[in-house]
Structure 1
Amino acid sequence: MKEIERKYRVNNDTYKRLSKLSYEIKQGFLNTHPDRTVRVRIKGDQGFLTIKGRSNESGTTKFEWEKEIPVQEAQALLELCEEGVIEKTRYEVLAGKHTIEVDEFHRANQGLVMAEIELTHEDESLKLPNWLGEEVTGDIKYYNAMLSKYPYNTW
């Protein structure tokens, strides 16, 4: 139950042409404490409840527990979430043995496009496509829990 990932800003929309799958995501947070976040997410027609722990020093690794729940329950739980529900379109792009998840944010985070790559270990080498920009792994202002409180359009 460990998530290892790196995050990047995205330079251009090449990912849209390369994407084989995209879907809408709506998510909110029941708890945004730095030691633990509790997220409710609707991804397409599926609901999820996720608990994440604090990131390690580099920001690449954290505890993550996720359970699929009925979408009707996820919709009800979204009503209980803290202010700042996030909406985004996710594009999945295959890059070698990795899938790059590109999130195009909407509403208060409109204009922000981020990419995440999940790894099997922290030191895993990556060949990054040229449409990925600045690495922002570990920069808490890019965490979704922070974007729900301090959206991109307020920076």
Structure 2
Amino acid sequence: MLQHQITMNDCILAFKKLSESRSVPFEFISERELRSNYLTQNFSKEQRRNTTMLKKVPDRIPDFVLIEGSKKIACEVELTVKSKKRYEEKFERYKDEILNNEYSIIRYLCSDEKIIQTVDVFAADAGLDRSMFQRELIRRLVDSGSKKQ
């Protein structure tokens, strides 16, 4: 969990540096803000005390969201391969959110090629095409960001 948080922060910083190098404004919504908004919109005060329900919230929100002009890009940092069911549920939810204009695109930031191949398969199975779904290796993103200092 800590490694995921550190990697997520590295990715956000890389996106920030890349935006600055292109002289483009950088905006993002953190996981904490996304979680708070999700709870406010979907949970009663009583439900917010239910730890079983609260444990499911991270699966229902992105790790962070980048804002590029009018586009909101949901970003997922993927360090390990997840279960088939988890991918199916997540991609179906993202497909609905794209179709409802909540997000413009989903971007998976993956730690290795095996994870990229896995998310490619499940994204395709869910009907997400390249206009809805992107994926990238974390090390390439972080390297690109560090070169743009």
TM-score (norm 2): 0.30
Q: Which has the higher helix share?
A: 2
TM-score normalised by L of structure 1: 0.29
Larger RCO (CA under 8 A, 6+ residues apart): 1
